[in-house]
Structure 1
């Protein structure tokens, strides 16, 4: 006798399945298919994978949440399936040496296939510029600024760019109007900036040369809070993927890094200090949050005198102790790199258990306990730049750009080698090194600089 579970019970059971398993159970029979196709289940998977809280049933129109999920996944996978011939390369001359690059376009959640990639850069004339990557054309530029722009970040969800110039002035731009939306002179140079959108609204967080963390609203630049984290310059500032934690690191050898509860910086209480805790490793050179385990952070410390590189992973939590809430950091793993390896400058993470970094010409993937899982040898010369997000890993060297993609499910192969692009742009001007590289679902953009500090912008757009 066949037993039929109520739809509500099936939906509850199916909510524990991953995407692949959900697709499998939908093929069992008509009843299971009906439940497995429900918007409730596919919306939950979409929210778990992407920050798409603003997407509603009205935005989807006639499409279901399953169609939305599969469409977004197809867009993500497109770049990983591309071959060198599928890219169109555009080159622009004369971009500024100092300021970096940032995408103004986000990976927007639409059913449109023809999305544009927009990248922001700075010209030597002291202009902020926006470029259409697919066309290779400048679509907007600011007036010439009095001082050179030294730092920029973007908030793609609101089409905003935030810059800081040599006069220590922060400005907010929408890359449509001629003038900035807001301007704020700062008392000290801001070495690091982070812009994010949260349930409390958009905010900008900066760490300055005096050791202070400022939090401002966007686009108004209204001051929310100021916290003195160190008695030295803040050189690293990283918000966790869920915007719950803020990691700050002072001048490398002098201080312990510190993690703050972001809520206390965004909604400060008068007369009480924000909740925070120190991470007991002084020689921190870089750190990264784990995008799929949002309370986990991995640090790299480097003792140059002893030539030891250690990688340490912590889990963060809040606990009630003696009637008070405190932040606790638990070291869950650490290991030292073998002395034969070249000391890395950058690290990246994926599912909370994997760490990736370049060493010489090789890309290495370790477990957080120190076990070497994969070694990629796709470059002939040392990797000079490295970029990681929850989907892709990009490496560059003097001879090429290489794209990798994280695999789903935490099973081997953890990282897949995808596409290799030779540096044909080097024929334009020799003796260049890549100073910045980024990608979205439809393009790869890099800045190449030579010894005379002149730069070119190289934009690879996908044509498939």
Structure 2
């Protein structure tokens, strides 16, 4: 019996089409005018977008009429290109040259997370040559460069204001306008090698600087006026600095120190200090911390990799953080909720940690990337590199590892039948000649591009920018 759609209402046909995939809808749209009207209904394509990408935002796209359909098709093509990684066909690679020193950090000033409308990605890099440079990733051109100053050590971004912050070897912290590269403010900590962290809390944008002498400065953003100053570790260099996704908690620590324990601060007590009270903080019951990260979907959960008591291997511990208030005081409560030994061979000084969702941990040591659950179940292990992994970046679609073997490895997340996600290794992106460089050192990515720094033999580091075609 032939199917007759003439007796169906448009709403009924749309309901039937809701069970179709993209190829079926495209074919159905060519059957007749009535089917075409149903098959291009924005509601259908919106449903498919939200089922496949829960974090997509078509309002940021400039696709025009029928934007949900255009968004879905563009993004599908982009993901296909990022999964196959064919040079020339799926992506273009450009070398960004201009620095005359080592690149110490990369940040996306303008990045594409869920929008595939074709807007440009802008990356800023800081170098020991004393300059910050902004680059158009897709065009491969430099947009601006700051005047040279003392060698830079760190760069971070206040995404809300579009302001860049750097620290140099003299302890000078500078704020730079992201559009022009103009210096807008400076602050002297009198301590070299500051770690920087920018965030917003209670409607206020602040910058936290952890110094080489163990102090925390909290400054206004972007004017860099001092809000508070506290000695946390006394002469020990703060080199671990992280904040929770909701900006309620801040972690400060000394990497690898067996004599100190990392501390958690209630961030409001740093940015809005009272006259008499010390900031609200609590030490964690571990030492020898190597890496730390908060869980994106569980902002009160903190993950740390640290030494075990016998120091023969590293352990991973998860802590729950809460604030207990009484009539006269408030206290931070820290409770260890999970702990497990990492795989044999992960007792390394250079260990990288990234977190995903509420239950997924990425740990990179030597040339191996491992994926764990929060309870210590090893989900996957990847040995795609021949030399140590130097940098790691991850988002809800993919993971990129940068190695001293002068390659980037792109891995993508896939939803399994039981709704759990699994990581799949896809392809390499090569960075050039080993005779001219010593491998990748930094990596950053947005949704449509990847930028990594290559340590050059002559000391003039180069950025490699990979733009994927949509």
TM range (shorter): 0.7 to 0.9
* Distance change >3 Å, CA 115–CA 328, structure 1 → 2: same
Normalized against structure 1, the TM-score is what? 0.79
Give the aligned partner of residue 277 of structure 1. 282
8 Å CA contact retained: 1:249, 1:284: yes
* Distance change >3 Å, CA 381–CA 293, structure 1 → 2: same
Structure 2 residue 409 is matched with structure 1 residue 402: yes
Question: RMSD across aligned C-alpha pairs, in angstroms?
Answer: 3.8
Distance in 2 (CA, whole Å) between partners of 1:451 and 1:58 is 42
Normalized against structure 2, the TM-score is what? 0.78
* Distance change >3 Å, CA 62–CA 317, structure 1 → 2: farther
8 Å CA contact retained: 1:212, 1:234: yes
Equivalent residue for 2:423, pick from 415, 421, 425: 415
Contiguous gaps of at least 5 residues in structure 2? 1-17, 20-42
Shift of 1:159: 2.1
Give the aligned partner of residue 31 of structure 1. none
1:227-238 mapped onto 2 (5 Å cutoff): 227-231=230-234, 232-238=236-242
Contiguous gaps of at least 5 residues in structure 1? 1-22, 25-36
Shift of 1:314: 0.6
* Distance change >3 Å, CA 211–CA 431, structure 1 → 2: same
Shift of 1:92: 2.8
Shift of 1:254: 1.9
Distance in 1 (CA, whole Å) between partners of 2:216 and 2:70 is 39
**SS across alignment from 1:104:** strand
Equivalent residue for 1:246, pick from 245, 250, 253: 250
8 Å CA contact retained: 1:194, 1:238: yes
**SS across alignment from 1:213:** strand
**SS across alignment from 1:294:** strand
Distance in 1 (CA, whole Å) between partners of 2:433 and 2:407 is 10
* Distance change >3 Å, CA 65–CA 311, structure 1 → 2: farther
TM-superposition CA deviations, 1:110-167 (whole Å, max 9, x none): 6x6111111112356532211111111111112232x222221122332211111222
1:327-366 mapped onto 2 (5 Å cutoff): 327-341=332-346, 343=348, 345-366=351-372
8 Å CA contact retained: 1:215, 1:223: yes
Structure 2 residue 226 is matched with structure 1 residue 218: no
Distance in 2 (CA, whole Å) between partners of 1:159 and 1:209 is 27
Distance in 2 (CA, whole Å) between partners of 1:79 and 1:326 is 50
TM-superposition CA deviations, 1:391-415 (whole Å, max 9, x none): 4321122052112234569844432
* Distance change >3 Å, CA 393–CA 312, structure 1 → 2: same
**SS across alignment from 2:433:** helix
Moved more, 291-300 or 194-203: 194-203
